[in-house]
Structure 1
């Protein structure tokens, strides 16, 4: 009696469990989004407290600016003290707190089954608060992405969810944290898609949106509502303005590429020091202290400086200091391996570039600071949609979205041409793990068996005897062959290993294939079945050839082999490159 094992049930029925998982994750995302918002609030309070302790000698969590200190030459010492503390925390606490935050989240997603430890959830924001509060030239976004991600990962681990579900909640926590800090839910969702998720599925997209919206609803009660840097530009986006935005984006792309190259050159220099890495942040902080003596605006997160760039109130001298001194101290500090983020510094450096050049362009310095921010962020992070929306959401001026999109796309194109990887993925690549940020549809997912199979394959008759089969496989071209009856109905699949076994076991040589293979359950595929599912079927059953049958008549219509799968990728790649 023949027993066929069709490789899958109808798609809609198979999707019910996926639907339930999506709803379960969406409900969990409300909790994770709340945790991300609370984590962002705590991080901002911790940064404010650290700033007050280091620079003003008072116990307070009220917001304060480092530029208001009166320490004089002692300014150069404070960053060193803070970095010494961070180095000790990394050495004796967890070395996972070192670095940008976003690369570590990517690495946890791709290579760590989206598992983050409670220690990271506590030490990352604490170390970042100390680093930023003591003058480190970083923003809060990298740490909160790591912290929000840890909250989502820990929640998933608590309920023993799968690796894919942990990834979704990790990214949901990261998006909620970024939303709470900046009030940019759409950009946070796009950052998740462009940088963190590495997939586009309802199972992951819907929970990320729910988490970001949850954080947005909490934000007015915890941090404040509205755009973080509200500015409205009353200018018509004429062709000349869009053309200038493209040129500004190209310059920003060059700046982003140069910053990425220099950052990892600095990292290499620190790696050559004959000292334990615990001391590197303190050495890097010496440069930060010197930069603070030159201009205190280069110290700390510098959100007031970003605000001044965007509303056009910054003095040109300060903008030039940001463009050069801030870049230098940020590169040295981050290259030393301390705890800090990249997003706010990139915004500041791109904004400073646009602000300085904008003095000679129509529209004013503030407009081109906005374009420079979008361009530098896009070029450095390879996230053009995120950068364009982020700049618009930060100001609330969505009418300027075409301008930020032009700058973002242009910077992205230049960055791709100049450097191989983004500032985020280069760090991972240096650990021997190469991350591809380009997405395309896998041909295995949209092609069907009927389009790829070998039709009318070579078959063996069911009445063929075991003895004849053994002799046949002595010179056979393939490892296995379909067995069919007189009407062309599939009976079984016989392989060279079957023939060898029959020789060893002294099977009855006059028995037919239909008789000796009649009780074997045979995995088969339908002509309309996606190739990806058949590839999974091959792996699950440990076979290299899958018969394709008509589900109504059980007649054999073709066969699919591993070689066919390899040909698909070759043909797809050739089609992308061929011209004519």
Structure 2
């Protein structure tokens, strides 16, 4: 199915770009055309304030009477659908999201197409998956495959699209999801030259600085843009809180935010729209200091206010512009082209804001075609990520979901139950009941002596016959069995739930969930003799052991709890 999704994601991205071009021509030039144009070329006078408001009013109406899910970044909504919506996106969202994004960006909204195209590609994958009998995990794989395909079709960054899927969307690293995503991305990459273009989206031709401390300087830029990412995230959600306090319906919020966008356009028209030409100028190293400062300040304000108002738009292109402008400004006092430092700033701010350091590093290299700058780019991404983790509880993407009461952890760890075997956690030589014990004696035992809910029943050689529990005793007490019968004659085949010492504890945890048996006998594989028992409480030992390994510090054999 992945090649179909890759094709759908690529054509979805192409259609979105054409829709943005049509909307831009209609709003700013008054013509029906799909030709790519720049808003800065339009001469509309004071209408530059009104046009973003008109577009936002349309989006507000679409969200109110169409679907509220078209509001927002795009990526958080995709994450929420994956984790809490069984990866089911509705056809209405699949249609309205790209239309609203095209209207938003085309009317001057300071956003990029990547968030909406990720949502659109994900919707294509989700809708296709829903045509078949698939599990939620399989639907998730196809949703993410579509999202990654859309991203690679827009930017031409296949490796970064795969890493984005792993670091931000999949919440796992498994062949079942990784391989289909790779296939989908490669198919979309094959379609891109035919639909959109080939080569790096923002090619860079400057010489690479050769000073030995360039990597250290790049790490310093990473610290700066990491702090900037934390500040932007904090301001964004404070602005969103202010909009929630307004005494008007949320349908009108985008129009209110668009007033700020229009005023920002009066100051500097380059802050309107996706601004991909700004990114190219920054990467070329041809932007002057004054222009970079104005772009950084005004773009930050209009983007934060517009996004906080709940309109439809993405975060990636604005982050690239802001990080690139910050890197450009710092690069005026550093060796080499300011374009190099703009690239460093772009990688760092993306890594810090989205908590995706590998994606940020490779994305910058693929966008510019400068893989020779990877050491410096990795330094910036790693340090920006570290600063982000220290300064922010969550990323700019997951904070939005957390505000709805759903906390998301972006750290991948191995399940401690999959690292340990039953023999490591079981209680050895457990108390057992003889197979020839009568039901009458067993009833008395469970009434007067039993300290556990269940006991293994073994024959004379210690081999497992079954498991007797308090629930069995209640049935016997009700008179459903002959009290003179032995446990061998009474126990059913359902009581033969067992595991072996080498069985992974994760498998036993699944067994407990499926059967409802709280204590699983552990038997020797060859002799079938009972060697231990594993309870739900024992399984928690694995969690405690992991916690201890993370918090207990030791030096030369001495341990100290930290």
Q: TM-score, length-normalised on structure 2?
A: 0.97
Counterpart in the other structure of 1:578: 552
Instruction: Structure 1 unaligned segments of length 5 or more: list them.
Output: 1-27
1:237 Cα deviation after fit? 5.2
Q: Is the 8 A contact 2:155 2:367 kept in 1?
A: yes
- C-alpha RMSD of the superposition: 1.1
Q: Is the 8 A contact 2:203 2:369 kept in 1?
A: yes
Answering whether residue 220 of structure 2 is matched by residue 247 of structure 1, we say yes
Q: Which SS does the other structure have where 2:497 is aligned?
A: strand
Match of 1:332 among 305, 309, 327: 305
Whether contact under 8 Å (1:76, 1:290) holds in the other structure is yes
Match of 1:466 among 439, 449, 454: 439
Residues 346 and 512 from structure 1, CA distance in 2 versus in 1: closer, same or farther, beyond 3 angstroms? same
Q: Secondary structure at the match of 1:412?
A: helix
Matched with 2:453 is 479
Tell me if 1:406 matches 2:379.
Answer: yes
**Quick check: 229-238 or 348-357, which moved more?**
229-238
8 Å CA contact 2:425–2:541 kept in 1: the answer is: no
1:239 is displaced (CA, Å) by: 3.8
Residues 519 and 315 of structure 1, relative CA distance in 2, 3 Å threshold: closer
- C-alpha distance in 2 between matches for 1:321 and 1:173: 37
Q: Deviations over 1:394-437 (max 9, x none)?
A: 00100111111100000000011011000000000000000000
Structure 1 residue 449, shift from structure 2 partner: 1.2
Q: Distance in 2 between matches of 1:494 and 1:521?
A: 7
Specify which of 100, 116, 132 is matched with residue 143 of structure 1: 116
Instruction: Say whether the 8 Å CA contact 2:209–2:336 is kept in structure 1.
Output: no
Say whether the 8 Å CA contact 2:145–2:181 is kept in structure 1: yes
- CA distance in 2 between counterparts of 1:343 and 1:445 reads 36
* 2:73 paired with 1:100: yes
- Misfit runs of 4+, over 4 Å: 518-521
Matched, 1:492 2:466: yes
TM-score by length of 1: 0.94
Query: For each residue in 1:22-71, what CA deviation from the matched residue of structure 2 results, as whole angstroms up to 9, or x when unmatched?
Result: xxxxxx11000000000000010111111111111111100100011111
When the two structures are aligned, how many residues end up with a matched partner? 553
Quick check: 1:37 aligned with 2:10? yes
Contact 1:86 1:281 in 2 (8 A): yes
Deviation at 1:500, TM superposition (A): 2.2
Aligned to 1:564: 538
- Map 1:59-70; keep pairs closer than 5 Å: 59-70=32-43
Aligned twin of 1:14: none
Q: Is the 8 A contact 1:182 1:228 kept in 2?
A: yes
Q: 1:136 to 1:368 in 2, by over 3 A?
A: same
Question: Secondary structure of 2:359's match?
Answer: helix
Q: Sort the Cα spacing of 1:289 and 1:451 in 2 relative to 1 into closer, same or farther, 3 A.
A: same
- Which structure 2 segments of 5+ residues have no match? 555-562
In structure 1, distance between residues paired with 2:359 and 2:365:
10
CA–CA distance in structure 2, aligned partners of residues 139 and 415 of structure 1: 22
SS, match of residue 558 in structure 1: strand
Distance of aligned partners of 1:239 and 1:450 in 2 relative to their CA distance in 1, 3 Å threshold: farther
* Higher RCO structure (Cα 8 Å, ≥6 apart): 1
Distance 1:56 1:316 in 2: 31
Cα distance in 2 for partners of 1:467, 1:70 equals: 97
The separation in 1 between residues aligned to 2:467 and 2:519, in whole angstroms, is: 9
The Cα of 1:528 is off from its aligned counterpart by 1.4
**309, 320, 323: which is aligned to 1:350?**
323
The Cα of 1:232 is off from its aligned counterpart by 3.6
Residues 171-186 of structure 1 mapped to structure 2, 5 A cutoff = 171-186=144-159
Cα gap change, 1:519 to 1:349, in 2 (>3 Å): closer
Task: From 499, 502, 505, give the equivalent of 1:531.
Answer: 505
Post-superposition shift, 1:511?
A: 2.1
3-state secondary structure, aligned to 1:505:
coil
Offset at 1:233?
A: 4.0
Selected match of 2:429 from 456, 479, 484: 456
2:478 is paired with a residue of what secondary structure? Answer: helix
SS at match of 1:557: strand
Alignment partners' CA distance in 2, 1:152 and 1:509: 61
Deviations 1:432-485 (A, max 9, x none): 000000110001112111221111111111122222211111231101000111
Cα contact 1:298–1:321 (8 A) shared by 2: no
1:254-275 residue CA offsets vs partner (Å, 9 max, x unmatched): 0000000000000000000011
